[in-house]
């Protein structure tokens, strides 16, 4: 049995009944299968020949219910040992076999998560330090603004706007670079998804929210401080 890719490679329209020789095997084509992925998605569907010969049977695929796995495996093992007592009974689940095709991607994803967490943590520490430094430099200014009638919300927006502006600028610089990097990585897959700008917009909103949360403590602290104490700061 051949898949559609093999038939297209042969250039025939009605292959059923034709003789075919593959390596040292000779036989007759008895059917055509629809194309399906039997290799990682980074590769295209290649020609496939399935030989129905008991001498080459090495694996047996069995579909069992999710609630009957232990009992089914025990029964299959007992039947296997009855007919092939000299060979060990070994089995693997199909999802594990398919998952093993993407071990490198899973390792890369795990490492990327660690680096993202570490970079985010360091960035939050830097933002907190900058917020503390800014509040310390503008303590008397904030006191004067409050004496002149500035509200706590207005002072908070004033202090946070500087960080929000630079976070937006950083996102505008990072989005094209991230898009090019992700798109280049996806080019290694024959079958791939497209990267939408929604993901980058969501990442930008998350970064803005994190930045505001980090600096909000210092901003609220100085915004709610008594102007008498802030004017005496220096």
Q: How confident is the model at residue 159 (pLDDT cuts 50, 70, 90)?
A: confident
What phi and psi values does residue 183 have, to the nearest 5 degrees? -65, -40
Cα separation, 12 vs 172, in Å, equals 53
Same domain, 118 and 226: yes
Same domain, 86 and 112: no
Same domain, 139 and 57: no
The CA distances from residue 7 to 34, 63, 122, 129, in Å, are 10, 29, 56, 66
Q: Among the three residues 78, 96, 114, which one is the final residue of a domain in this structure?
A: 96
Same domain, 84 and 163: no
pTM, 2 dp: 0.59
Same domain, 85 and 109: no
- Give the chain's domain count: 2
Q: Among the three residues 29, 64, 96, which one is the final residue of a domain in this structure?
A: 96
Same domain, 80 and 162: no
C-alpha torsion sign, points 49, 53, 58, 60: positive
Same domain, 87 and 148: no
Q: How confident is the model at residue 166 (pLDDT cuts 50, 70, 90)?
A: confident
Same domain, 130 and 35: no
Same domain, 85 and 110: no
C-alpha torsion sign, points 154, 156, 162, 164: negative
Model confidence at 180: pLDDT above 80: yes
The whole-number pLDDT of residue 37 equals 83
Q: Which residues contact 152 (CB under 8 A, 6 or more apart)?
A: 220, 223, 224
Q: Among the three residues 79, 96, 113, which one is the final residue of a domain in this structure?
A: 96
User: 168 is in which domain, residue-wise?
Assistant: 103-231
Contact 17, 28 (CB under 8 A): yes
Contact 128, 214 (CB under 8 A): yes
């Amino acid at each position: 049995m051949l898949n559609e890719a093999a038939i297209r490679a042969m250039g025939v329209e009605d292959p059923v009944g034709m003789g075919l020789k593959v390596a040292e095997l000779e036989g007759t084509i008895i059917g055509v299968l629809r194309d399906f992925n039997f290799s990682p998605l980074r590769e295209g569907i290649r020609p496939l020949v399935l030989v129905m010969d008991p001498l080459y049977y090495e694996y047996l695929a069995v579909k069992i219910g999710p609630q009957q796995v232990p009992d089914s495996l025990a029964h299959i093992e007992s039947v296997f040992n009855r007919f092939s007592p000299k060979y060990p009974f070994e089995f693997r689940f199909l999802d594990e076999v398919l998952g093993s095709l993407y071990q490198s991607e899973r390792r890369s994803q795990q490492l990327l998560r660690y680096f993202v967490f570490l970079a985010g943590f360091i960035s939050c520490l830097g933002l907190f330090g900058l917020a503390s430094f800014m509040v310390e430099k503008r303590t008397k200014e904030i006191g004067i603004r409050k004496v002149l009638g500035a509200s706590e919300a207005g002072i908070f927006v004033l202090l946070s706007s500087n960080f929000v502006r630079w976070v937006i600028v950083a996102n505008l610089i990072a989005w094209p670079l991230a898009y090019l990097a992700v798109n280049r990585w996806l080019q290694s897959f024959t079958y791939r998804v497209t990267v939408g700008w929604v993901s980058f917009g969501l990442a930008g909103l998350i970064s803005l929210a994190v930045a505001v949360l980090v600096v909000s403590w210092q901003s609220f602290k100085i915004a709610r401080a008594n102007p008498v104490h802030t004017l005496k700061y220096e």
